[in-house]
Amino acid sequence: MTPARDDRDLTLEVSRALEACGVSQEALSGSRGVTTPVTGEQILSVEPHTVDEVRDVIDRAEHAFRVWREVPGPARGAVVKRWGELLSEHKSDLATIVRAEAGKIVSEAEGEVQEMIDICDFALGQSRMLYGKTMPSERAGHRLMETWHPLGVVGVITAFNFPVAPYAWNTALAIVAGDPVIWKPSEVGVLCALATDALLGRAAAECGAPEGLHHVVIGDREAAQPLLEDQRVALVSATGSTRMGRDVAPKVAARFGRYLLELGGNNAAVVTPSADLDLALKGIAFAAAGTAGQRCTTMRRLIVHESVADDLVERLRRAYETLAIGDPGDEGVLVGPLINRQSYESMQAALERSRMDGGTIVTGGQRVLADEFPDAYYVEPAIVRMPQQTEVVREETFAPILYVMTYQDLDEAISLHNEVPQGLSSAIFTSDQAEAEIFLSARGSDCGIANVNIGTSGAEIGGAFGGEKDTGGGRESGSDAWKIYMRRATNTINYSGKLPLAQGVEFI
């Protein structure tokens, strides 16, 4: 374990990074303190927006939409291209801010920024491929086709654990689709938002985009309410807990707005008797302990065939005990802090409930570095063997707890896998092609992401990201996720000189 750095040093690092990204000193003086999980101390401060200010932001975004929707798609793509270039230039700066606000280790912070760069590349190509279909008409001398048009103002609400990447997934595609974006970041991610927005602002200005194309709204849940309730916000994309999604969806649906939800995950991996255990060990360790268990795709359940369970658990125990825990900025550290005290207390409560349900803690669960930094919460990732899948296992605890259960046949494993409310990410480790195909089939994993011989974390931007059930059903990033940011029109063109009606209807 390594002690975290003095918060004064971290404040200096972050201040320099913010300045390099173009954030003004005026934006960093306000009534609300910004705390880092690395030390638990305040490093800077910002000023929250009022509800009236948020409504004014919506006014400006709506005005920008009326201009931006007329700009050709490839020209809109130029803004995203330039944004990606600036993100590349300032990758280290932005990663420094991510590390300070989210507590991520260096490689994970840089990896999150790389996701932003990658989605800019993807969206740039998509700006020339906003394709509609042409369909055969049943009427002679007619052509039937679909066209895609800009949707309107997009509201994006993001969570603390990925303070920049999901915003970029949405924004890069929304901008090429012709939509302005209003961003309400987590209260534990405002510095990341200011830096990211400053770079986008520079890209937009250099490319001649209209003012009002992008905005950041700083505040609590009250500040987000206009985005949910205002008819002019055509789409609300929200990343966070299932509880948050249950609040967002009805409010947006009540006005017939669109919503895109990427909510909780209770992700599992099935390990079969034929699995390469060395490979499985690496995939499980990162997915379960990486980011201190604070990814939506973190592996929280391990369903292992009884014939290999003891061997695999012992390998995992030895691997866990080698994980370096400490300041995420230090070389060699693999596990940084939990985001706050509440996360630590939730983890301890879940571990106690698992004990009461007959679980055995194999390793981990203890707080470390508490003497040096009483306001920061570093913990040892935990492995818990459970006799069955109890209620605490079915719930998502946003902390590094891996529950291990055994099975006898694949149908039992899939049943265990699917009987939780969430449906985000899943994996199977196997060398048997039939087992892999079954897991990927309709009778297999019920998640939006299903992997073979890799863990549950680490999705690439080329595929659509999201899940089913309590995960919300939304899809972001790659594939055809761009369609959610646009509206489809079906067009019939009659060049026959006559007016036959469809289905042979006769009227006049």
Give the residue among 227, 175, 148 at the shortest CA–CA distance from 65: 175
* Structural domain boundaries, residue 135: 7-263+472-488
Residues in the chain: 508
- Which among 436, 393, 446 is positioned nearest to 415, based on CA atoms? 446
Q: Judge whether 288 and 475 are in contact, CB under 8 Å.
A: no
DSSP state for residue 325 in the 8-state scheme: B
Q: Catalytic residue numbers?
A: 262
Strand pairing category for 181-184 and 153-157: parallel
3-class SS string, 163-231 = CCHHHHHHHHHHHHHCCCEEEECCCCCHHHHHHHHHHHHHHHHHCCCCCCCEEECCCCHHHHHHHHHCC
Radius of gyration of the chain (CA): 24
Q: Give the number of other Cβ atoms within 10 Å of residue 332's Cβ.
A: 8
497: in domain: no
List 412's β-bridge partners, or say none.
Answer: none
Structural domain includes residue 483? yes
CB under 8 Å to 309, separation ≥6 — which residues? Answer: 404, 406
Q: 204-225 as b/e, with b when 16 or more CB fall inside 10 Å?
A: beebebeebbbbbbbbeeebbb
Name the 3-class secondary structure at 194. Answer: helix
Give Cα 55 distance to the centre of its chain: 26
Residue 496 lies in a domain: no
Residue 467 within any structural domain of the chain: no
Cα→Cα distances 426→77, 338, 449, 453, 478, Å: 34, 23, 6, 11, 18
Chain centroid offset of residue 315 CA:
30
- Count of domains for the chain: 2
- What CATH number does residue 307 fall under? 3.40.309.10
Q: Can you name the residues that pair with 386 across neighbouring β-strands?
A: none
Question: Is 507 contained in some domain?
Answer: no
In a domain, residue 437? The reply is yes
Residues 283, 240: one domain?
A: no
- Give the per-residue pLDDT at 409: 97
Tokens of 344: 């630590």
pLDDT score of 4: 56
Per-residue confidence (pLDDT) for residue 2, from 0 to 100: 57
256 and 280 assigned to the same domain: no
Structure token pair of residue 333 = 């550290």
Contact 295, 161 (CB under 8 A): yes
Residue 240, token pair as written in the block: 């966070």
Query: What pLDDT score does 508 carry?
Result: 80
In a structure prediction context, what are the per-residue pLDDT tens digits for the chain, which is 508 residues long? 655 556 678 999 999 999 999 999 999 989 999 999 999 999 999 999 999 999 999 999 999 999 999 999 999 999 999 999 999 999 999 999 999 999 999 999 999 999 999 999 999 999 999 999 999 999 999 999 999 999 999 999 999 999 999 999 999 999 999 999 999 999 999 999 999 999 999 999 999 999 999 999 999 999 999 999 999 999 999 999 999 999 999 999 999 999 999 999 999 999 999 999 999 999 999 999 999 999 999 999 999 999 999 999 999 999 999 999 999 999 999 999 999 999 999 999 999 999 999 999 999 999 999 999 999 999 999 999 999 999 999 999 999 999 999 999 999 999 999 999 999 999 999 999 999 999 999 999 999 999 999 999 988 999 999 999 999 999 999 999 999 999 999 999 999 999 999 999 999 8
3-state secondary structure at position 271: strand
120-135 burial, b if ≥16 CB within 10 A, otherwise e?
A: bebbbebbeebeeeee
- pLDDT for the residue numbered 80: 98
Residues 193 and 278 in one domain: no
CA 130 – CA 73 distance, rounded (Å): 8
Looking at the fold, whether 399 and 456 belong to one and the same domain comes out as yes
The Cα–Cα gap between 151 and 166 comes to 19
Contact 199, 91 (CB under 8 A): no
Hunting for tokens 């400490």 — which residue is that?
326
Query: Which phi-psi region, left, alpha or beta, contains residue 283 (left: φ > 0; alpha: ψ -120 to 50)?
Result: alpha
Q: Decide the pairing of beta strands 468-469 and 422-423.
A: antiparallel
Note whether 280 and 379 are same-domain residues.
yes
Same domain, 334 and 425: yes
Euclidean distance between CA atoms 105 and 95, whole angstroms: 9
Q: What is the CATH number of the domain that holds 123?
A: 3.40.605.10
Residue 300: CB atoms within 10 A of its CB come to 27
Judge if 241 and 370 occupy the same domain: no
Q: How far apart are CA 459 and CA 425, in angstroms?
A: 9
Q: CA 18, CA 266: separation in Å to the nearest integer?
A: 35
Q: Does one domain contain both 93 and 222?
A: yes
Residue 271 in any domain: the answer is yes
Residue 339 is encoded by which pair of tokens? 């985001």
- Residues 271 and 255 occupy one common structural domain: no
Q: Which two tokens stand for residue 144?
A: 């039937």
Neighbours of 317 (CB within 10 A): 13
What's the CA gap between 276 and 437, in Å, rounded?
17
Strand, helix or coil for residue 211: coil
* Closest among 186, 185, 190, 211 to 200, alpha carbons compared: 211
- pLDDT at residue number 459: 87
Same domain, 397 and 441: yes
Residue 339 domain-assigned (yes or no): yes
Edge-first strand order for the sheet with 214-216 is: 214-216, 181-184, 153-157, 233-239, 258-262
Helix, coil or strand: residue 492 = strand
Co-location of 278 and 246 in the same domain: no
Considering the domain architecture, whether residues 46 and 164 belong to the same structural domain is answered as yes
